[in-house]
Amino acid sequence: MSGKLAQSTRSRVGEAKASVVTACSSWPNLKQALQVRNSLAQGESGYIDADPDWINEDLEPTPPEKRTWGFKTYCLFYFGVSFGNWTLGSTMVGIGLSWWQAIVVIFVSQTIASVAMAFNSRAASKYHLGYPAISRAVFGMYGSYYFVGARAVLAAVWYGIQLYSGSGHVGNMLRAIFGDAYKNIPNHIPESAGITTKGMLAFFLFWLIHLVFCFFRPYQLVRFFWFKGFIMLPAVAGVFIYCMIESDGKVNHTLPQVSVKGGLGWAIMHGINSGMGNTATLITNQPDIARWSKTPNASIFSQLLIQPLAVTLSAAFGILATAGINGKWGLELWNPWDLLDAIQDHHNGSGARFALFLAAFCWTCSILGTNIAANMISFGSDAALLWPRYIDMKRGFFIAQLLGFAIVPWKILASAEIFTTFLSGYGLFMASVVAIMISEYFILCRGNIMTAWLFNPGKTNVHYRYHRGWNVQAVIAYLAGIALPFPGFAASLGATGVNQAGNDLFYMGWLLSFCTSFAAYTIICKFWPTRNQKLIREQGMAWEDSARLSLDGEEAATPQAAVDGDETKRETSV
C-alpha cells in the first residue's frame, strides 16, 4: 500500500514538474498555464457568442455534482453565522434602548433581514449563479463592474477586520495554554503601530488558519459549517450561565447612552437600521451562498426559520451576560475576547483555563466561519468577475488573504473611527442594490434569467447589453435610493449643516433605501422597460420559464438544446 502511494506521489510530482517546465518555456505557454478553467476551453459550452475574457467556472452555473448544500446544512450554516452576534446589543443599548427593548428591536430587524435574504436567494438557488453573474443580468455587462467592485473592496476590508477580531480569541487560547508566559511576552513593536508583539503572534496564527481554507470552494466546506453550527451554542450558553451566576443574575448596564432626538420612536428606528446594517453584507451575499443549494427552497426556508432566532438569542446572551459581569466587577467590557480575558484574571486554575480554552476555540471557529461566508467567499466571487480569464474564486481567496494583512486592520480599528463608522453605515448602499435585484427578478422579469447570454459583452447580446453595457434605469433607481438617507450618513461621518430631518432619514437608512429603490425601479421600468424586459413580455414567458432552457436549470436540457432554444428566442425577438 505504501509503495503504491509513493509511486502515485512520484508520478504527480513528475507531472507537476513537467507542467512547470512547459509553462516557463515561452511567454504564450505561461499565459496559457495561468488561465483558469472554463467550459469554453473544455469544449462544453452552449453559451451564445461567449467571450473567453468574460467567463470562468465560478461565473458559470454551479454544476449538479457541486450542489451539495441541503436544508439541514443551510440551517446549521445560518445558525453558525448568526449565533455569533454577541456584541450587537451594545449598539442598541448605546442609542437609549433598555435591554428588553433592544432584544425586541433586534428580533424585528432580523425578521425583516431574513425576508430580504429569502427573496434575494431565489434567483441563485434556481439558476445556481453567484452574485457577480446575477449582477450582469441586472446592472449590465459593464455596469456590474461597479456594483461588484464596490462589494469587493468592502469585503476585503471587513475580511481584515474580522481576522483581527478573531485573533483576540486566538490570544485567549494561547493564554489559556501558556498562562503568564504568553501574557507577559515583551512588546518589541512601537506603540504607534497599534498592536503588540503577542497580538501580532495571535493575528498571524489566525491568518495561517484562514490560509488553509483558501484551497476549498464552498461546496467542499459542508462539514466545517456543520461543525461550526454545533459547537457555538454550548460555548455561548456556558459563558452566559457563568456570567449570570457570577453576577447573581443582576443586570447593571454600564454602557454610555447616546440621546436620539425625537424620543423612543426614533430610537427604535435607529436600532432597526443598525440591526439591518449588521446583516447588510449577508443579505447582499445570498446568491454566493444559495447557488450551492440542492433544491430551490433549501436555502430559503432555513434562513426564514433560523436567522431571526439565532441572532436575537445570541445578542440577548451578550446584553445580559456582559451587563451583569460589568456591574459585578466594575468593568466596561463588551467584546467576548475581553470578557474571556477578564474571566481568566479572576479564575486562573487549570480547570478554568481548560474551559476558557474550549470557549475561545468555539468562538474562533465561529469568527472563522463567518469571515469565510461573509467576506472570503464574496471577495473570491467578485474577483472572478473582475478578471475572469486569470482569476477564479480560489485565486480570489488568496488575494483576499494577502489584502487582509496588507490593510493593517489593527490600525483601522485603533485610529480610524470615521472609517469604521463608514463601514458600519454602508448598508444603505447595499439596500438599494438588493431592492433592484429583487424587483428585476420577481416583478419585471418574472423569474427569468437568460443564462446563455451572460458571457457575451458584445452588441449581439440582446438581453444584457442594455445601454453600452449599463442598465440606466437601475442606476437611476440606485441613486434615488441612497439620496434621501445620504445627508444623515454624511453627518455620522462628521459633516456639518445637516438638520434633524436629515438625521431622521438616516435612522431609517436601510428600509428607506430599499423601499425607495424598489419603488423607483419598478415604476421606471413599467413606463420605460429595458430591452430584456420587453423581450420577456413579447415572448409571453411565464414564471421562471427560462430555467427549463438554461444550461443548468432545474429542468435543464442538454447544452445543444439550450442553445437551440435560445437561438429560437433570438430569432423571434429580432
Judge whether 168 lies within some domain. Answer: yes
CA angle 172, 175, 181 (to 5 degrees): 155
Distance CA 82, CA 102 (A): 17
Instruction: Tell whether 142 and 10 lie within a shared domain.
Output: no
Residues 9 and 129 in one domain: no
Any domain includes 46: no
- Give the pLDDT score at 568: 38
**CA pair distance 508, 497, nearest whole angstrom:** 19
Residue 47 lies inside a defined structural domain of this protein: no
CB neighbourhood size of 31 (10 A): 12
Query: DSSP state, 261?
Result: T
> CA neighbours within 13 Å on the CB side: how many for 395?
17
Determine, yes or no, domain membership for 321: yes
Res 563: pLDDT: 38
**Is residue 40 a part of any domain in this protein?**
no
CA distance linking residue 314 with residue 102, whole number of Å: 12
How many of the other CB atoms lie within 10 Å of CB of 235? 21
Q: Nearest 5 degrees, angle CA 548-CA 550-CA 551?
A: 120
Q: Is 44 within the bounds of a domain?
A: no
Provide the residue-wise pLDDT of the chain in tens; the chain has 574 residues.
455 555 655 666 665 566 666 667 776 766 776 788 776 655 556 687 888 899 999 999 999 999 999 999 999 999 999 988 888 887 788 777 888 889 999 999 999 999 999 999 999 999 999 999 999 999 999 999 999 998 998 899 999 999 999 999 999 999 999 999 999 999 999 988 889 999 999 999 999 999 999 999 999 999 999 999 899 999 999 999 999 999 988 876 545 455 555 678 888 888 898 888 888 888 999 999 999 999 999 999 999 999 999 999 999 999 999 889 988 998 888 889 999 999 999 999 999 999 999 999 999 999 999 999 999 999 999 999 999 999 999 999 999 999 999 999 998 876 556 666 776 677 788 999 999 999 999 999 999 999 999 999 999 999 999 999 999 999 999 999 999 999 998 888 878 888 888 888 888 889 999 999 999 999 999 999 999 999 999 999 999 999 876 544 443 333 333 334 444 343 333 3
Asked whether residue 26 falls in the same domain as residue 136, the answer is no
Predicted pLDDT at 33: 67
What whole-number distance in Å separates Cα of residue 568 and Cα of residue 574? 10
Task: Please give the pLDDT value at position 296.
Answer: 92
- Do 235 and 363 form a contact (C-beta atoms < 8 A)? yes
Q: Is residue 360 part of a domain?
A: yes
Residue 69 and residue 168 in one domain: yes
Q: What's the distance, Cα to Cα, between the start and end of the chain in Å?
A: 63
**Shared-domain flag, residues 416 and 524:** yes
CATH number, domain of 319, equals 1.10.4160.10
- Total number of domains in the chain: 2
* Nearest-10 crossing angle of helices 131-139, 377-386: 50
Same domain, 18 and 64: no
pLDDT at 573: 36
Q: Determine if residue 441 is left, alpha or beta; phi over 0 gives left, psi from -120 to 50 gives alpha, anything else beta.
A: alpha
| Strand, helix or coil for residue 356 | helix
Asked whether residue 105 falls in the same domain as residue 22, the answer is no
On whether both 63 and 189 belong to a single domain, the answer is: yes
| Pairwise CA distance, residues 537 & 530, whole Å | 11
Cell representation of residue 232? 457555538
Are 12 and 84 in the same domain?
A: no
Domain ranges, residue 433: 52-573
pLDDT confidence of residue 91: 75
> Which amino acid makes up residue 410?
W
**pLDDT for res 277:** 82
Render the burial of 47-69: b for 16+ CB within 10 Å, e for the rest.
Answer: bbebbeebbbbbbbbbeeebbbb
Same domain for 28 and 56, yes or no, is no
The predicted pLDDT at position 561 comes to 36
Question: Is the Cα torsion angle 222, 225, 229, 230 positive or negative in sign?
Answer: positive
Q: Can you point out the beta strands (E) in 26-134?
A: none
φ, ψ of residue 53 in degrees (nearest 5): -80, -5
Please indicate, yes or no, whether residues 197 and 251 belong to a single structural domain of this protein. yes
Residue 48 DSSP label: S
Q: Is residue 180 part of a domain?
A: yes
C-alpha cell read off for 361: 476555540
Chain Cα centroid distance, residue 448: 25
User: Does residue 17 sit in the same domain as residue 100?
Assistant: no
